[in-house]
Amino acid sequence: MNDRTTGSAPRRIFIDKQSPKAYHALVQTSEAVRATAADAGLDRTTVELLNLRVSQLNGCAYCLDVHTKAALRAGESPRRLGVLAAWRDTEMFTGTERAALALAEATTDPTNADAQESAYEAARQVLTEDQISAVIWVAVTINAFNRVSILSRHPVPPLREN
């Protein structure tokens, strides 16, 4: 459906701006989850890998942009970021990261009970209970942010020309 005056698609409501108290609560949750992950021994690069992988699965361009930059700032390598979508097919990720990625993927698609059970059991072999909880919270939180950005159609800022 097009806007009658401009012929362009109608602008979406930025629900983060429309309902700032709700969005602020989500940001506070994210901050608590980040602290929970750190307390559980998950480093910032692992958390950003989870944010990126879930955002890849959900197709959230805005969150992919934000968390790629955050991962690079945290010290993640461009090479590992480049193969993240195919993490199962490389040896570039640690056992902890692999278990966390599988669990985050299973959290993102809770309709696949077999994959969820398999990921959870694999995670129990490598991760502590605190880490399992933190990984699930990271995935739940980024899934929420993905939905906010996708449904609001948050734009990815253009690259700056040098």
Quick one: pLDDT band at residue 161, thresholds 50, 70, 90? low
Element (H, E) at 148: helix 129-152
Domain 33-152 has CATH 2.60.40.1220: no
Quick: pLDDT tens for 135-154. 999 999 999 999 999 999 99
Quick: pLDDT tens for 10-63. 689 999 999 999 999 999 999 999 999 999 999 999 999 999 999 999 999 999
- Give the Cα separation of 139 and 104 in Å (integer): 5
- Give the Cα separation of 85 and 91 in Å (integer): 13
Structure pTM?
A: 0.91
Enumerate the domain spans of the chain: 33-152
Tell me if 35 sits within 8 A of 44, measured CB to CB: no
